[in-house]
Structures are given as structure tokens and as C-alpha cells.
Amino acid sequence: MSQHARTILTRLEQVDSLPPMPDVAQKILGLKDDEFAGSREIANIIKVDPTLAGQIIRYASSPIFGAREPVSSIHEAVIRLGFVKVMNLALGLSLGKSFDLPQNGPLGLRVFWRHAIFSAFTMQLLAENYIKWEKRPTPGIAYLIGLIHNIGYLILGHLFRPAYDALVAGIQRYPQHSLLTLEEKGLGVTHAQIGATLLKYWGMPPEVVAAVHDHHNENCKSDYRNYAYLTMVVDCILKHYAIGDAPSEEIPEKAMKLLGLEQHAVDEVHQQILEKRGELEGMVDSLTATG
């Protein structure tokens, strides 16, 4: 085991050394179990964070969500997007923006958010329209997973900067190797393991933790493997656009079969990504401008 791996695993096992969940995220997560919570409650939480509120308003004003004209307040944004969408969107954004990381580079914030925004869009698109009913993930949870399934890279850069820097150096030195190979050989631990460890500690929903842990595991046996396989499919789709860390564009047959996906659905998703690509890049720009 490498020194990096020992350092990372030892610290992850010492839960007292892990960062606490951001206050805003804690309050948002608390709404998931509150049957009386609604648009007013989520708006009141978000509006105390001007940066987060601004991002939600920009999302609600985007044509991607069917907007024909901009909204001017967080209350309007919640009404337009809906309580569940805003809750998961705000939760994902608040978690992702709580880490200190370089803006640029192969694992910088811009790369992270580009992957997150495109993943969330594609995850929800597939979950809502193409997955067979009995295996269909909840679209809101799928969107959240899309936003944060690579949060392990943020944790690596925030808590373990020497290991992060070593991984970045490996990416630049060995571009022929997949990122997963570099993680396993250079660090002895993957971003999926790191991310799942922190999300479990934070008390995130089990389907989110499972998807983060297993989104590169073709032999996943989890009760929530439909979420993990959906994330895997999306990563492979986005590899076509040089987005993300999938080893290949080839979607595992096991994932397609379990989710009931046909090739024509993948082709249609590619077309919708191309149609929305400019708007998605605009969202990335707005996030990284304040990230």
C-alpha cells in the first residue's frame, strides 16, 4: 500500500477529522423527511446564501428547464422548478461548493462542474424518459447523483493535497492511462471510495452513497445498483464529448440490460445533449465564475 493510500484511508477512518456537512446542506437534507415542508421552507433556507440563491435563479431562468423569461426571486424559482428539483439542486450545489480546490487543471473546479452539470442533465433525462418503469430511479435523486458522484475528487484536493497533486501529475505524465488506473496504482484508493465514505458520514440517502461508491463497478450487487449503473451509462455517454473520467465510451451491456435501455435511447440522448450543449456550458460558466 502506498503512503498516499495509508494517509487517505487512515484519515477517512477517523471520522472526527472529516469536514462537517455545510449548514445550508444540513438544513436542506432535513427537509427530505419533513412531510410538511414546501416551497416556502426551501426558499427561506436558500435565500440566506446569496451565491446559492443566485445560482438557483439562473437555473430557473434557463431554457433547459423550459423558461421563456427570467425569474427575479428565489420564490419564483422554486415555483417554476418545483420543490423537489430545487431541493436536490440546492443540496448538490451547496455540497460541491464547500471545498477549496484549484479552478483549472485536469481535476480543477471547472472540470468538476462541467462534468457535474452535464451528468445531472443526462441522468434526469434518462431517468424520466428511457428507463424501464420497474428499474426507474427517482429523477430528483438521479439529478443529485449526477451533480455529486465525483465529489471524491473535491475531497481529495481539499483534504489530501499532496495526493491530489500527485494524481494531477500522473494525468499529465501518463495521458494514455485511464484516470481510474492512475488512482488505483498511484493512490491505492479511488475517488468513488473517498466520496462514498464522506457522503455516508454526512448521512446522505443510501441510494446516493451506493451510486457514488459503485458508479465504476460493472459487477455492482447493491440494492441500489440501478442508480450506480445509470451513473455508469451517463459517464460513458459523456466520454464521447471528452467530459468525465469513464475509461471508455462503450456502455457495459450489463448496465444497458438492467436498466432496459435500447441503443436508440442513447442516440436520442446524444441528440438532446448536442441541442442543449450551449446552455449547459453557460451554466458551467456561471458556476465557475463564482466557484
DSSP string computed for the chain = --HHHHHHHHHHH-GGGSPPPPHHHHHHHHHTT-TT--HHHHHHHHTTSHHHHHHHHHHHTSGGGT-SS---SHHHHHHHH-HHHHHHHHHHHHHHTTS---SSSTTSHHHHHHHHHHHHHHHHHHHHHTS-GGGPPPHHHHHHHHHHTTHHHHHHHHH-HHHHHHHHHHHHH-TTS-HHHHIIIIISS-HHHHHHHHHHHTT--HHHHHHHHHTT-TT---TTHHHHHHHHHHHHHHHTTT-S--S-SPPPHHHHHHHT--HHHHHHHHHHHHHHHHHHHHHHHHHHHH-
Model confidence at 290: pLDDT above 70? no
Model confidence at 283: pLDDT above 50? yes
Model confidence at 262: pLDDT above 90? yes
Report CA-CA distances (Å) from 216 to 19, 45, 284.
Answer: 25, 34, 24
Residue with cell 471528452: 242
Q: What is the pLDDT of residue 186?
A: 87
**Which superfamily, per CATH, for 3-19+98-290?**
Hypothetical protein af1432 (1.10.3210.10)
Q: What is the pLDDT of residue 66?
A: 74
13-45: per-residue pLDDT in tens? 777 778 899 999 999 999 988 888 888 999 999
* Mean predicted confidence (pLDDT) in 99-122: 94
Amino acid making up residue 121: F
Q: Where do the structural domains in the chain lie, given as residue ranges? A: 3-19+98-290, 21-83
Q: What is the pLDDT of residue 291?
A: 45
Long-range CB pairs of 54-57 (<8 Å, 24+ gap) are: 54/290, 55/93, 55/286, 55/287, 55/290, 56/81, 56/86, 56/89, 56/90, 56/93
* Mean predicted confidence (pLDDT) in 201-226: 95
* Mean predicted confidence (pLDDT) in 105-122: 96
Q: What is the pLDDT of residue 265?
A: 96
Residue 224's CB is within 10 A of a number of other CB atoms, namely 20
Do residues 208 and 141 lie in contact, with contact meaning Cβ atoms separated by under 8 Å?
A: yes
45-87: per-residue pLDDT in tens? 999 999 999 999 988 888 887 777 888 899 999 999 999 999 9
Cell numbers standing for residue 277: 450543449
Residue 249's Cβ-side half-sphere holds a number of Cα atoms within 13 Å equal to: 10
Model confidence at 202: pLDDT above 90? yes
Model confidence at 246: pLDDT above 50? yes
Residue 39's CB is within 10 A of a number of other CB atoms, namely 17
pTM of the full predicted structure? Answer: 0.93
Q: For residues 125 and 272, give the distance between their C-alpha atoms in angstroms, rounded to a whole number.
A: 9
Q: What is the pLDDT of residue 168?
A: 95
